[in-house]
Chain A
Amino acid sequence: GAVVSQHPSRVICKSGTSVKIECRSLDFQATTMFWYRQFPKQSLMLMATSNEGSKATYEQGVEKDKFLINHASLTLSTLTVTSAHPEDSSFYICSARETGANTGELFFGEGSRLTVL
C-alpha cells in the first residue's frame, strides 16, 4: 500500500523558535497533501490543503504566516510552525492523495507531536 512518511515524530522546542515538519509520499506521487492538527481525544482539524507548485489553501482561522506550508515536489510537503509558542503544542498529521487515483482514500503520516516549552 501507499506509504506516507512524516518526520520528526516528536519534537521539543523552546518558545520563539521555528519547527519544520516533513511529509513524504514514499511510493507514489501526491499533487495534494493535507495538514491537520489533533488535540487530545478530539477529531482532526484540517489546517490547510497543500498543492504542489502553488500556494496552500488555508482553512478559516488558520494563520498562514504562522503555519508556513511548502509543497515543492510531488512527494514532499513541509509545514513550518514559526515562532512557536506553548499553545502551538499539538499532534500534527499530514495526509496525501495519490495523483490520478480516482478512489479518494487518504494515506496518513504517523504524526508529529510538537511540544513547545
Chain B
Amino acid sequence: AQSVAQPEDQVNVAEGNPLTVKCTYSVSGNPYLFWYVQYPNRGLQFLLKYITGDNLVKGSYGFEAEFNKSQTSFHLKKPSALVSDSALYFCAVSLGVNTNAGKSTFGDGTTLTVKP
C-alpha cells in the first residue's frame, strides 16, 4: 500500500520569506511524486512532479521540490512567498501510470497562508 503524509495542516509565512510545505511518502517501489494546488471552490492544478532524474524539480509559479530517497520526502519550497500563493497544497504519490498502479494517493493537504 502507498501513503502520503503532510504533517502540517497549516503553514503561515510572511510575504517575501521562503516557504516549505512538507511531504513524506511510503511506497513499495519507485515513486512518482506530485504537488498540486487548490484555490477555494476550484479543482486542483498540477504544480510539479518527480519521476526520475535530478532530485530537485522546478515547477510552476516559482515552486520547486526536492526528492530525498533516504528520508522518503518530497518537500515543496519557494524562495520568496507571495500573498497569491495562499491556497491548499496537496502532495500525491503513485507507482506508475497504468490504470490501477497509476492511481494516485493524496495527502490530507496543507493550507498555506502568506501574510503581507
- Could you list which residues of chain A lie within 8 angstroms of chain B, going by C-beta atoms? 1, 4, 6, 31-32, 34, 41-44, 46, 49, 51, 57, 91, 93, 95, 97, 101-111, 113
Which one, B14-22, B64-72, B79-87, B102-110, is touching chain A? B102-110
Which of B43, B92, B96 is close to A111, meaning CB atoms less than 8 Å apart? B43
Closest 7 CB pairs of A and B: A108-B43, A108-B44, A43-B108, A104-B32, A110-B43, A104-B97, A111-B43
| CB <8 Å contact, A104 and B107 | no
Other A-B pairs, 12, CB within 8 Å; known A46-B103, A104-B102, A106-B44: A32-B99, A43-B90, A43-B108, A43-B109, A49-B99, A93-B43, A95-B44, A97-B97, A101-B97, A104-B94, A104-B104, A108-B44
Most buried by A among B45, B46, B109: B46
Q: How far is the CA of A91 from the CA of B41 in the complex (A)?
A: 8
| CB <8 Å contact, A103 and B49 | yes
CB distance from A110 to the nearest CB of B (A): 5
In the complex, per-residue mask of B19-48: 1 if CB is within 8 Å of any chain A CB, else 0: 000000000000010101000011111100
Which of A6, A43, A46, A102 is close to B97, meaning CB atoms less than 8 Å apart? A102
How many residues of chain B are within 8 Å of chain A by beta carbon?
Answer: 26
On chain B, the residues within 8 Å of A46 by CB distance are 103
| CB <8 Å contact, A105 and B44 | no
| CB <8 Å contact, A104 and B43 | no
**B11: CB under 8 A from chain A?**
no
On chain A, the residues within 8 Å of B108 by CB distance are 42-43
| CB <8 Å contact, A44 and B43 | no
Q: Which residue of A lies closest to B45 (CB)?
A: A108
Q: How far is the CA of A4 from the CA of B44 in the complex (A)?
A: 11
Q: How far is the CA of A36 from the CA of B107 in the complex (A)?
A: 14
On chain A, the residues within 8 Å of B13 by CB distance are none
CB distance from A96 to the nearest CB of B (A): 11
A-B CB contact pairs (8 Å), 7 listed: A31-B99, A44-B44, A49-B100, A108-B45, A111-B42, A111-B43, A113-B41
Q: Which residue of B lies closest to A105 (CB)?
A: B46
